[in-house]
Amino acid sequence: MEVKQLRTFVHVAELGSISLAAERLHIAQSALTRQIQALEAEVDAQLFRRHGRGVELTDQGAALFARATVILREIEQARAEIKSEQAVLTGEVSFGMPPTVADVLSGVLIEKFSRLHPRVKLRVVSGYSGHVLDWLQRGVIDLGVLYENKLPSTIRSQPLLLEQLFLIEQAGQRPSAAPVAALAEIANLRLVLPSRRHGLRLLIDSVAAQAGYAFEPVVEADSLPVQIDLVRRGLGATILPFLSVFADVEAGTLSARPIVEPEITRRLVLASVIDRPPTPAIRQFAAMAVSEVAALVKTGRWKAILE
């Protein structure tokens, strides 16, 4: 049994399609099929069950998959450890994240990582979660921090946190307001929200609709700094994660109240493409990203639950 065979087997199992795996691996479908057949002959068992939508693991295939993923991880870890002992970490890491996350996370992450690994070149891009997902799938970036919606089977994701959304208003505008904000109250406010092509707006509208409300903002602004500035000027309120306005709340220019009845939450994940094995530099960067997110939550700057 060869490592190459195990890798091919794992790709097919994760993608659920021989043709898609062949495309991702840049080999002919017939060659990939022969590799799977050779592996089945070697273990003397049928590993996949064919159906109209692709393939699925048999019970024997599932057992081998559990073992194969562990073996491949161990091999990659051994290679990384050998390389790290022989040379300074090098290479390139490209990553993307939404603006609300990038504004707080990217600076400290790049600074710390560059200090520890100065020979690794870093490249960061910022965009909506849909853009980050598209960049991942097209190979533009290696890692993506994004808000989970419905991720395709080609994406591997690691949950980071569950984030609660807050009603953000100009400080002192309503001193007698309750410490929490219900949707019934928010429905009567002048709102500044992103447009409907923005994932945050889609989430807000979906929760509001389920509760029997329809929000019609007085201003639509897809730029986070513009949203916050308009609220500072008293033109309306907005709905954002606490992280986005942490400095303003500390400075006393904005107030932030958690939304209840119902809560509005969203899950942040660290994502990569399953058929591109991470380099040692990418693995180290991913580990540091997880650590920095956890630190922001533990200090209270990011109002969220770690997962």
The two domains 3-85 and 162-266 share their CATH topology (first three levels equal): no
Q: Report the C-alpha gap between 284 and 307 in whole angstroms.
A: 20
Region 162-266: CATH code: 3.40.190.290
Q: Report the C-alpha gap between 226 and 232 in whole angstroms.
A: 10
Identity at 86, one-letter amino acid code: Q
pLDDT of residue 23: 86
Q: Report the C-alpha gap between 176 and 81 in whole angstroms.
A: 59
Q: Does the domain spanning 3-85 belong to CATH 3.10.20.740?
A: no
**DSSP output for 53-120:** TEEEE-HHHHHHHHHHHHHHHHHHHHHHHHHHHHS---EEEEEEE-HHHHHHHHHHHHHHHHHH-TTE
pLDDT of residue 285: 95
pLDDT of residue 87: 60
pLDDT of residue 300: 83
Residue closest to 208 by CA, chosen among 227, 232, 231, 189 = 189
DSSP annotation of 249 reads: H
pLDDT of residue 180: 87
pLDDT of residue 9: 87
pTM, two decimals, is 0.64
Kindly give the confidence (pLDDT) of every residue in the chain, 307 residues in length, as a single tens digit, with 9 standing for 90 and above.
678 888 888 888 888 888 888 888 888 989 888 889 998 899 898 998 888 788 889 999 899 888 888 788 778 767 766 665 556 788 899 999 988 788 788 889 999 999 999 999 999 998 888 889 999 988 889 999 998 877 888 899 999 999 999 999 999 888 777 888 889 999 999 999 999 888 888 899 999 999 999 999 999 998 888 999 999 999 999 999 898 898 899 999 999 999 988 899 999 999 999 888 888 999 999 999 999 999 989 888 888 888 8
Tokens of 231: 């609220």
Q: Can you give the residue ranges of every domain in the chain?
A: 3-85, 87-153+275-296, 162-266
pLDDT of residue 290: 94
Q: Report the C-alpha gap between 99 and 105 in whole angstroms.
A: 10
pLDDT of residue 83: 62
Query: Superfamily for 87-153+275-296?
Result: Periplasmic binding protein-like II (3.40.190.10)
Q: Which residue has the tokens 């000027």?
A: 233
